[in-house]
Amino acid sequence: MSKLVPPHGGKGLVIRLLEGAERDAELKKAEGLKKIEISAQEKGDLIMIGIGGFSPLDGFMTKADWKSVCENFTLADGTFWPVPVMCSVTDEDAAAVNVGDEVALERDGEIFATLKVEEKFSLSDDEKKWESEMVYKGNGEDSEKFWDVALEDHPGVQMVMARGNEYLAGPVNVLSEGDYKTNPKYLGMYLRPAETRAIFEERGWSTVAAMQLRNPMHRSHEHLCKIALDVCDGVIIHSLIGNLKPGDIPAEVRLKCIDTLVDGYFVKEHVVQGGYPLDMRYAGPREGLLHATFRQNYGVNRMIIGRDHAGVGDFYTLFEAQEIFDKIPYQGEECPDPGKKLLCEPLKIDWTFYCFKCDGMASMRTCPHGKDDRVILSGTKLRKALSEGAEVPDHFGRDEVLVILRDYYENLTEKVEIKMQKAASGQEMK
């Protein structure tokens, strides 16, 4: 019997990726089906559905699922799920497809899946605005003037509003993982849930924490992982290797930085580095819940949630992504079907920083000193300094990692302005 947390949804890993002769036959059939172009986000979602990362989902959501997820944090059947997973299509494609049809989903000329259409539905612009408010609106200053700033400054809202108004729902057969298994830059990093579970089992782990990364790993990230290692058998440093917003650092550079850090500053047998194929949704607290949900499928039972997890601008308060875990269904109450409950719990950690007087990493709970004695750490602040050629403060990152990042920025031909929000700048620290 496995000691690891079971996959989410109570059905084991729901794997929709076809391989071998079964894939060959489905791909041949797909060549004769109507082709529908999908977005980069939908491609990542398909791969996660295929490899079991989005268990128990076996395809794209119905309108009832969409409404329940936005409103209640559950699928229509009551299973916890925090964000919509949708397949939008053009008006023209929707008109050419009937319920019961099969279609091929492709991206840039490659067929990624077939979909059995169980439902066609529409979402008006007002309904997409409602989704944006339910899923992406937080309690921060920017959310107080949400529609004055969201369309310009919130990439998650921009993606929702840019979707079409027509949708297809139904189960999928996934035929491709893109180049994640073959591209040398992801070699050994892209891992399926079954693979991480096998690694954890082999190492005898039963309690596993996940560190979510979309920025280069700085001293605060390192400190969070080491706190987790004090209370868990191991940590997976799990990087997003799908698409990011302009100005973010590409996956291969971040992975090289993490390798360097693990080699020099961790006990290797207690750390696994991996990558997962999603695009960022920039959904703040809801994305923190999504991170915990699919990490459960990877065998993780503790999700590290620090300051401003998955935050965007000043749309969310500093610890909103921690607080939301206390507000979701089945918390503090008996769940009639334990498989429907989120079992990956948050490992809530306070604001961490380097303190010169403490002479080490500390947090608001452990350091009695003032703001002027602290080096405020954030991925955004690091990217801004490096992109502008500014000096990086002492103790912000490990020297070996900064060498890699400086080399990357020095060779950039186009640079993107990095906006500094309060959470990253330290303005809110007392």
Task: Bin 168: left if φ > 0, else alpha if -120 < ψ < 50, else beta.
Answer: beta
C-alpha torsion sign, points 236, 52, 162, 148: negative
Structural contact between residues 284 and 142, judged by C-beta atoms closer than 8 angstroms:
no
- Fill in the DSSP letter of residue 131: H
CA distances from 319 to 103, 142, 197, 287, 348 (A): 42, 15, 30, 13, 9
Q: Which pair of structure tokens corresponds to residue 413?
A: 């031909």
Give the span between the Cα atoms of 233 and 155, in whole angstroms.
36
The amino acid at residue 204 is G
Q: b/e string for 114-123 if b means 16 or more Cβ within 10 A?
A: bbbbeebbeb
Dump strand ranges (E) for 251-301: 271-276
Q: For the residues of 183-236, what is the DSSP string, one character each?
A: -GGGTTTB--HHHHHHHHHHTT-S-EEEEEESS---HHHHHHHHHHHHHSSEEE
Structural contact between residues 258 and 237, judged by C-beta atoms closer than 8 angstroms:
yes
Does 214 participate in catalysis according to the annotation?
Answer: yes
Give the span between the Cα atoms of 7 and 172, in whole angstroms.
19
Give the span between the Cα atoms of 173 and 16, in whole angstroms.
5
Task: Bin 315: left if φ > 0, else alpha if -120 < ψ < 50, else beta.
Answer: alpha
Q: Which pair of structure tokens corresponds to residue 60?
A: 């794209």
Torsions phi, psi of 363, nearest 5? Answer: -135, 175
Q: Which pair of structure tokens corresponds to residue 101?
A: 């049809």
Give the span between the Cα atoms of 55 and 15, in whole angstroms.
8
Identify the active-site residue in 173, 215, 297, 301: 215
Identify the active-site residue in 214, 281, 302, 307: 214
Does 215 participate in catalysis according to the annotation?
Answer: yes
Residues 6+ positions from 244 with CB-CB distance below 8 Å: 214, 250, 279, 280
Beta-strand relationship, 102-107 and 110-116: antiparallel
Please identify every residue annotated as catalytic: 214-215
